[in-house]
A and B are shown apart, each in its own frame.
Chain A
Amino acid sequence: MFITVINALNEGFLQTLKLFAVTLVGALPLGLVISFGSMCRFGPLRWLTRTLVWIVRGTPLMLQLIVIFYVPGFILPQNPWAVTDGRFWAAAVAFILNYACYFSEIFRGGVQGVPVGQQEAGQVLGMTRSQIFFKVTLLQMIKRIVPPMSNEIITLVKDTAIARMIAWQELIYAGYAFLKGSHGLAGLYWPLLFTGLYYLLFNGLLTLLFGWMEKKMSYFRS
């Protein structure tokens, strides 16, 4: 019995990790792009980006999942998500968009928090605009955003559980299945409680990683 449950939980955890990794890979660059948009000097683009951020941050992720996954099928003759792994990709799109918007605000805060003097110093040294951005601003911004980013990323690990809203079978789903009846077992409490251990261990690893990153970057004393 123990082996059956652990195998099923491992399978669920793998799906959780998959969604976590794909979201991170997609949302980090997209967040940077969105943060540029919201800092853009061209008014309409800035206004458009900030409205997008407002909508995405202002509505529940659960609702966004439902809209992204089901609504195309209401309008189109065939639902584009009705393919193998469609549920996963719908969830990934929702999570990437959602987290990119949160990340973008952290990036914006990080970029704007770098003192103007740093950019002026770059100009004095004859650096080009892009050199100043990548070698001065971005580098110092990364150091500043590690603590708030670690918060968001740890939240993301646990938020993946929301994907069960569209029946994506992640870790919580796998644990819950043994309460409802699965693999010939039913009414088991402990698999659901046991999933907590997976999240705890994984987030512990992430915490260590972020602590290490902070230490690595402590040579910037700005």
Chain B
Amino acid sequence: MKKVLSVLLAITLLALGLTACGSAGSDLEYVQDKGTLVVGITDFAPMDYQDADGNWIGFDADMAKAFAEELGVKVQFQIIEWDNKAFELEGKTIDVVWNGMTLTDKVKAAMDCSNPYCNNQQIVIVKADVADQYQTKESVKDLKFAVEDSSAGQEQAVLLGAKNVTPVLDQATALNEVKAGTADAAIIDSLMAGAMVGEGTGYADLTYTVGLNDEMYGVGFRKGSDLVEKLNDFFKKTYADGTMMRIAEQYGVQASIIEQK
């Protein structure tokens, strides 16, 4: 038992050291052989979320279903811990990360990504009653920030020159820190802010102010996967025939969709 464990540990270290090397064989064949495409998601409206009957819907979820159909396999949605997404891919417990993922340098280093398909922005969230004072980058710089660990929001906080930044578990926790008063401001995705912040939401006393950047969403695969090319072709095809836009309109994200050519 001990030997097994030490061998496992040694191999872990080895595997971590060799993340750069690609896997042998075709990822497409691997997925088609087992007959399911396992899609790694979190509960994230309007990209991946559950309807009243517990079915996964959303712009990303519907596109993933269509892509799996194109490959001739079944689709399976698997909730993951966002911090572990690269682990989940390389450990083959999922086949793709398709969950409104911002293409940051960190993400692009950890996995092979599709062409960008959706525009997004990192924006600052503050309490609504003080929002008037914080409409410029200069004015928010010295606030106490909460951001999702290893997120695009965290990168923007660094670029902004903010000195007091606390990395937390996820974007919702960052919002929660602002609501609880343990942080002055959070930095999260604008698409998420549109759905979660402001009147009529669970965070009615929060609002968004200044946008910090422009960025794009992409889909992540294992390193060296031939599914990347397959998905890029699929994006081109569905953009050209209008399928992509039709699905986008269904979830109100049509204004953010990027032309695929």
| Residues in chain A within 8 A of chain B (CB atoms) | 48, 51-52, 55, 66-67, 69-75, 77-79, 81-82, 86-87, 164-167, 169, 177, 179-189
Contacts and interface: CB of A to CB of B under 8 A. Distances in A.
Interface stretch (B81-89, B97-105, B111-119, B238-246): B81-89
7 contacts: A55-B5, A66-B84, A71-B15, A74-B12, A166-B84, A186-B196, A188-B202
A186 B202 contact: yes
Interface residues of B, number: 43
B80 A167 contact: yes
Interface of B: 1-2, 5-6, 8-9, 11-12, 15, 25, 30, 34, 38, 42-45, 49-50, 52, 78-81, 84, 87-88, 90-93, 170-173, 175-176, 179, 195-196, 201-203
A184 B93 contact: no
Contacts of B44: 181
Nearest to A53: B2
B2 A55 contact: yes
A70 B87 CA distance: 7
Q: Is the interface of A mostly helix, strand, loop or mixed?
A: helix
Nearest to A78: B92
A75 B4 CA distance: 13
A220 to B, nearest CB: 34
B93 A69 contact: yes
Contacts of A67: 8-9, 12
Contacts of B79: 167, 169
Given A66-B87, A70-B91, A73-B93, 4 more contacts: A70-B88, A71-B11, A181-B43, A186-B45
Nearest to B51: A184
B2 A73 contact: no
Contacts of B88: 70
B179 A187 contact: yes
A-B pairs, 3 with minimum CB distance: A187-B202, A70-B91, A73-B91
A33 to B, nearest CB: 11
A183 B30 CA distance: 33
A86 B34 CA distance: 15
Contact of B90 (A48, A74, A186): A74
A79 B95 CA distance: 11
B172 A179 contact: yes
A184 B51 CA distance: 8
Contacts of B1: 48, 52
Contacts of B179: 187
A134 to B, nearest CB: 26
Nearest to A184: B52
A184 B203 CA distance: 14
Given A179-B176, A185-B202, A186-B196, A71 B91 contact: yes
